[in-house]
């Protein structure tokens, strides 16, 4: 009798756990359906087509080939576009990190309405369309824009500086767009740091400078890593901001993919460009993760 009762007690918790797992998966089903139909399936289709031949008359052929990938990897022009994309992504990530960390640190130390107002100001660019923000920077960076007019009026320059349609303008626009993502990621990491840890460091004789670099900064590396992933991935895959602020003079991988898929209708080569970009982003993030892992801070990609 006692054995039967204990078995019944064990069965009930198992049933509850299985029911909770089922409910969790049930909540995930709508998201999984959207993810599969609008991301996985198109990605598979694009990947398959990237190994097909293409003819301007007949379109996508039935023959399997690696020529689309070899064409990209052996052409200096396409490799230059790839390098420009990675360079803009790295510079945007570094600049966002440098200007975001102090802002995130200050906000994480505040409480009450002051914190709420600063957070609202910080995320306010997300409330405006990316296209509107990009055209706003065009007005500022144009030859007759605010910056050039101001510099000419105070006598620092005699002729307008070429600020628009350069890598500089693209980086400025991307930093403005992605700055909040980095701040929010770092704030989340800073808030999880136990205040008693920093107090313990101070009680052991560490000044604020040493406490920050030996305690706060290492413990906030997960937030830095998460923000860097977001900023770098979104920058290297961005199309709207580089197209508006860089135009045809600053080619990036996303713009190149658009040209071959939508303009030239060369889906196989456009698919190859897209997959090369995905591979390069994955390798870059993996190397970044390894570099942080060597610091023995426990930040890795699983």
pLDDT in tens, 61-93: 888 888 899 999 999 999 999 999 999 999 999
- What pLDDT score does 11 carry? 54
- The token pair that represents 261 in the structure block: 């898929």
Dihedral of the CA atoms 229, 231, 235, 236 (nearest 10)?
A: -10
Mean pLDDT in residue range 118-132: 85
Q: Is the pLDDT of residue 297 over 50?
A: no
- Which domains does the chain carry? 76-294 (1.10.3720.10)
Phi/psi of residue 232, each to 5°? -65, -45
Cβ(269)–Cβ(260) below 8 Å: yes
- The token pair that represents 163 in the structure block: 């600020």
Task: Give CA–CA dist 175/99, Å, rounded.
Answer: 10
Residue identified by tokens 């996303």 is 254
249, HSE (Cβ side, Cα atoms, 13 Å): 12
Phi/psi of residue 60, each to 5°? -75, 125
Q: Is the pLDDT of residue 121 over 80?
A: yes
- What pLDDT score does 300 carry? 39
> What pTM did the predictor assign?
0.83
Question: pLDDT category, 302, cuts 50, 70, 90?
Answer: very low
CA–chain centroid gap for 92, Å, is: 10
- What pLDDT score does 74 carry? 92
Q: Which are the contacts of 276, defined by CB distance < 8 A and separation ≥ 6? A: 69, 72, 73, 82, 253
- What pLDDT score does 13 carry? 60
Mean pLDDT, the chain, whole residue set: 84
Mean pLDDT in residue range 172-185: 92
Question: pLDDT category, 94, cuts 50, 70, 90?
Answer: very high
Q: Is the pLDDT of residue 45 over 90?
A: no
| High-pLDDT (> 70) share of the chain, % | 89
């Amino acid at each position: 009798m006692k054995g039967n009762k204990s078995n019944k007690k064990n069965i009930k918790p198992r049933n509850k756990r299985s029911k909770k797992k089922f409910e969790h998966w049930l909540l995930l089903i709508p998201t999984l359906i959207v993810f599969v139909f609008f991301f996985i399936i198109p990605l598979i289709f694009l990947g398959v087509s990237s190994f097909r031949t293409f003819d301007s008359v007949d379109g996508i052929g039935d023959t399997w080939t690696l020529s689309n990938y070899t064409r990209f990897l052996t052409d200096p022009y396409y490799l230059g576009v790839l390098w420009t994309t990675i360079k803009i992504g790295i510079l945007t990530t570094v600049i966002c990190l440098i200007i975001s960390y102090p802002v995130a640190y200050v906000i994480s130390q505040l409480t009450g309405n002051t914190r709420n107002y600063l957070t609202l100001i910080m995320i306010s660019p997300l409330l405006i369309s990316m296209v509107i923000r990009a055209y706003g920077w065009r007005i500022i960076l144009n030859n007759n824009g605010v910056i050039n007019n101001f510099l000419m009026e105070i006598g620092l320059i005699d002729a307008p500086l070429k600020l628009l349609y350069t890598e500089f303008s693209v980086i400025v626009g991307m930093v403005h767009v992605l700055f909040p993502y980095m701040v929010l990621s770092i704030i989340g990491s800073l808030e999880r740091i136990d205040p008693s840890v920093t107090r313990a460091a101070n009680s052991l004789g560490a000044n604020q400078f040493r406490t920050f670099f030996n305690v706060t900064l290492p413990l906030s590396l997960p937030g830095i890593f998460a923000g860097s992933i977001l900023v770098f991935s979104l920058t290297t895959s961005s199309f709207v901001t580089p197209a508006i602020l860089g135009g045809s003079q600053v080619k990036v991988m996303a713009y190149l993919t658009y040209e071959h898929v939508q303009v030239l209708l060369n889906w196989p080569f456009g698919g190859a460009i897209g997959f090369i970009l995905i591979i390069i982003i994955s390798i870059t993030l993996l190397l970044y993760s390894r570099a942080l892992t060597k610091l023995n801070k426990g930040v890795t990609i699983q």
